[in-house]
Structures are given as structure tokens and as C-alpha cells.
Amino acid sequence: MTSPVVASADVLILGSGAAGLSAGLRLAQAGIKVCVVSKGTLAGGSTLWAQGGISAVLDEDDSVEAHVRDTLVAGAGLCDEAAVRFTVERGPACIEWLVEQGVVFTQAEGEQRGQRLHLTREGGHSHRRIVHAADATGRAVETTLAGLAAAHPNIHAREQCVALDLIIDKPNKRVLGAYLLDRRSGRVETFRAKAVILATGGANQVYLYSTNQFGASGDGIAMAWRAGCRVANMEFMQFHPTTLYHRDSRSFLISEALRGEGALLKLPDGERFMPRFDERAELAPRDIVARAIDHEMKRLGIKHVLLDISHKPADFIRAHFPSIYQHCLSLGLDITQEPIPVVPSAHFTCGGVVTDLNARTDVAGLYAAGEVACTGLHGANRLASNSLLECLVFADAAANDLIRELPQMAEPPALRPWDESRVSNSDEDVVVSHNWLELRTFMWDYVGIVRTTKRLLRAQHRVDLLRREIVEFYRHYRVTHHLIELRNLVTVAELIVRSALERRESRGLHFTSDFPQTDDVAAPTVLVP
């Protein structure tokens, strides 16, 4: 059975987080017809769950140079300084744009609403520069932008759809559109577009424990790799140091902003331990804090450490962290009176699809913005709250480039429909669920916070076996949402392991016991299909 071409647009945007929605709105406001595809609801992108905020230089005591310097330090020598400066310089304008769209940020105390935004501080930052909406910044941004997108006449939203693969004109290395699986009907549709923006987020569900929702399966990275794009720095997977440890709450993030406002990390006996690892203590970059927690947990054989902000006034805690306070209270934990049990979890993909400062990839007409991309901003470790900033800046860059280039882009030709004539329905979906669990488990055990060559080689062997089994399954049975994600996850796992094996040093988020030194010269790990 085949499925006909059912839709087309000037620009197809895969993903509905901050990158996808802001790019879509900017294009639509310029009169361009856009389709935004979301795996779930339009407001269900990963941005929805971001707590901390957006970094931007808005205080007179702060400076672009200071923000650039903090980013370069956190990136452990691997950032592209031009990309860092490009991003940081455009931060204030992006915040202003969000305010114009109606996003309501927390105001500074004692100031009239709209006069001045409250700025908090997070690990690795030398100044207060984090714009936030209490402790639910992502929700404020996501719901506002999604509401605007849903109402805009130039935006067509396709909810409950999963991108299966990009359609590529291989001789000309040009994108023509994508195949989409409608999760509700099970139908695969062919979608034509002059240009495609990948805004699919990261790949952190490749690990057993993650702060991300289940949709973070590396779809855009895997699709771009199959399409012929270079991928870089995939060994640098960031583990957030503080995820709530509780049997009734899966991977609830405890924002870094708590440490920015004075929360202390402690052992079960009440001893602070971060000063032993770094002079910045709780405000050290995330890779240092995560490794310190991992070290103490292994040294003492404990399942978690404690994050304590109970020494702060209760009213202050409830006002600044209402979501975290209420969630913990619902589990019987009053953070105004007692510490929070926390553990590290996979959180952010620092590498991804190689792009330039216009968000262009190696394939003509194909752009990438947000966590799916490797812009050079993050280097070997992302500075806190630079992620939403990157989404906004490079979505703007992609939109501006497309506004200039679309009039010269040719209409894509008629496309071959998806062919299901030689496949059947699977009666062994247990294979998919079993492989999903096996992949995420050995990636956590062998390619986690601390690595060795022996563990990486074990992971490589298992990835190869799983990949062959998944490819065979993919060829013979009708695709499902979970099979698509599993196929992409095993591709991403292979890229992570290959990159980690190529880096024979320890730098930033990649720490290997076999090569604990840091080389004098930093170089990105670039994989070519």
C-alpha cells in the first residue's frame, strides 16, 4: 500500500520547542507559509520542561565580554569563539522579542512591572544574567509561542506526527521534504517543502536515566546523518547534577537556580563536599558538579546526595521556586524544612548536526536550530541557560536566511510516496521494547559520566549487534512511533561511542580514566557520513 503526497509548505519545521516555534513565527510574520510538526501537542516541546531561564546580558554591571568569557571557560577550550560572540551579542534582542510576543518574565523586586526583569545566577556565570519566569521559564515561553503559532494564518500545525526520514535529492545534495508518520492513523505521509528546519531537540533518552521527556530520541541528528550531514562533538553529553531522587517521581529536574540562590550540596551526614572539588563549589560548571556527586556516591555506596536550601526564608523559597516546592510537597517533602535527595541524570546533547552561523547544514535547504545542532557555542560543556538562548538566536538566524533565500529556491519536484507494499504488521513488538531498554541500560553503564576504553568498546559491540537487529526489523514491518525512535537512538548511540573512542583525552563532559589528561590543543570531533 502507498500513501500519496498530501501536503506541502514553503518551510517544514520538525519540532515545536523554542527553536521550532520561534523560527515558525518569525517566518510566518514575514508572510511565509510554514508547517510545524510536533510529536505530541504543539505546546509539548522539550522547552515546556525547562525550569531555569535564558542567559542574556541585561544588567549594567554585566557585559558581552564577561558572558563570552564564562561560556568559553565552561566549554573547556572547545567553543568556537565566533559562534559564542554571535550568540551572546544577540541575546538581549531575543529577550526583547519574547517580551513583545507576550512572554511574562519575573520582574525585579521593588520595580514596577515592565520596568526591569529579575536576573538570577547559575553555575559558571560570573554575573546575574538569567532571565526567568519563576522556576517555569520554559512553560512561559512554550505556551505563549504555541498559542501565537496556533492562531497564525501562515502556520499549519501538524500534531501527533513523527518525522520518519528526510527526502533528499542526492545528486544535488538538496532537501525536498520529509516522510511523516501520523501517530493516530498510522499512515505515512509525504511532505514537500522548499526548506526544512530541524528543531527536534537532543538525544538524551539514549540513557536509562534522563531529565528529558521520552521524545528526546535524537531524531534530527539521526535523520541528518543519514542524509549526509556531518555530526560533531557527540561525546559531550551533559548530565545535570541535580535530579530529584524519589521512587514516585521520574526524572524531575531540580533547577540549577537553587544553587544560584544559595542551596548547598551535602552528604547524608550533613557535610558539604563541593569545596573539596572546585573553588567555585556549588556554582562550578555542571560537568564538575556531576562528577563530584558521582564520585561521592560511588565512594560511599550511597544512592543520592542532598541539596539543601532550607536555610533560606520559607517565603523566599516558595516565591522563587513555586513549581519545585509544590512538586516536592506533593511527595511529602517540604524543601523549606528539609534537604532534597538528588542524583545526576542525562540532560543535554552538546554536539549535533554541524551548522554555520545561518543555521545551515551540509545539505542545501536543510537548517538545524537548538539542541539538535552543533553551532560551536557549547564546546565540551554547556554553560547553564545558554540552551534556550541558542534556540532563539539560531531560529532567528535560520528565519532571516530563509527570508532572503526562499524567493530563489526552486519548487521541489513530485516525490515518490512511501511504499508499504512489501511489509507487514509486527506481532513481535516486544523486540522493540526489549531493545529500547537494553540500549539505554548499557549506554548508562558504559558511556556515562566516567568512561574507560574497555567500557566504550563493549558498548560499541552491543550497538553494532542492536543496530543490525533493528535495521532488519525496520525492513520487514510497518513502522511505528517507537520503532522510529529506537532506530534513531541506536544511530545516535553509535555516533556517541565513536566520538568518545576518537577523543583520547579528558575534556569537559568527556572524562575517561584511561586518558585523564587534557591536551594542550583542543579540536572538535567531526564525523563524516
Q: Is 139 a catalytic residue?
A: no
Instruction: State pLDDT tens for residues 404-426.
Output: 999 999 898 888 888 776 676 76
Overall average pLDDT of the 60-70 stretch:
96
What are the b/e assignments for 224-260, b being 16+ CB within 10 Å?
A: bbebbbbbbbbbbbbbbbbbbbbeeeebbbbbbbbbb
Q: Pick the catalytic residue: 26, 121, 174, 286?
A: 286
Does 515 have pLDDT greater than 50? yes
pLDDT at residue 426 in the model: 66
pLDDT at residue 423 in the model: 72
pLDDT at residue 115 in the model: 57
H or E element in which residue 9 lies: strand 5-14
Specify the 3-state DSSP secondary structure of 318.
helix
How far apart, in Å, do the first and last CA atoms of the chain sit? 31
- How many CB atoms sit inside 10 A of residue 472's CB? 11
Query: Going from the N-terminus, what domains does the chain have, and what CATH number goes with each?
Result: 2-235+350-407 (3.50.50.60), 239-346 (3.90.700.10), 424-517 (1.20.58.100)
Would the pTM of this model clear 0.95, i.e. be above it?
no
Rounded Cα gap, residues 263 and 269, in angstroms? 16
pLDDT at residue 417 in the model: 81
Does 37 have pLDDT greater than 70? yes
Instruction: Work out the burial of residue 114: count CB atoms within 10 Å of its CB; fewer than 13 is exposed, 13-18 middle, 19 or more buried.
Output: exposed
Instruction: State pLDDT tens for residues 41-53.
Output: 999 888 988 878 9
> E strands, 378-505, where?
418-419
